[in-house]
Amino acid sequence: MLGKISAFFTELVEDFQNTPEQQKNTELSLEICCAVLLCEVMRADSAFTEEEQDALSIILTKQFNLNLQEVSDILEKAFELSENASDFYQFTSKINQYYSLDERIKIVTLLWKVAYADGELASIEEHIIRKIADLLHLRHNEYIATKIAAKEFHLGIEKK
């Protein structure tokens, strides 16, 4: 216990002593912020299906024009942040700062696509997406439209 407290204060002092350049390097990127939110939806029902993991990788690859190594690196960091995050605000505030309403709507649609990827929509996934949509300042009709668009996309894939 004493070791954990000591480590906490050591980390706090190191963070305080970081130069602005070092702090800039540790800032959250938009890609990581979006990836964390996507991970939160995937982790919500405690079932990490292969379909959800594949959907997550494909979404990040297409959304941010990343290669497989970049996606892997971002997902590693995103899972770590997701497991230790106490709320979504630090991620959604960054997205709100840099993304337009249309881009935020697209992010929420991507969240739904991850939720639908395994063929089941758990109520906890829906709850998390609702919370994220609220933090991204989407109106209720925009939230519903993203859900419908993602569901239609998912059903279109299943028909093929």
Domains, the chain, ordered by start: 30-159 (1.10.3680.10)
pLDDT tens digit at each of 160 positions of the chain: 556 555 555 665 555 444 443 333 346 799 999 999 999 999 888 877 888 888 899 999 998 999 999 999 999 999 999 999 889 999 999 999 999 999 999 999 999 999 998 888 899 999 999 999 999 999 999 999 999 999 888 777 554 4
Give the three-state DSSP class for 56: helix
Cβ pair 150, 113 in contact under 8 A: yes
Question: What ranges in 2-160 are assigned the alpha helix state H?
Answer: 2-17, 20-26, 30-44, 50-64, 68-84, 89-98, 101-116, 123-135, 140-159
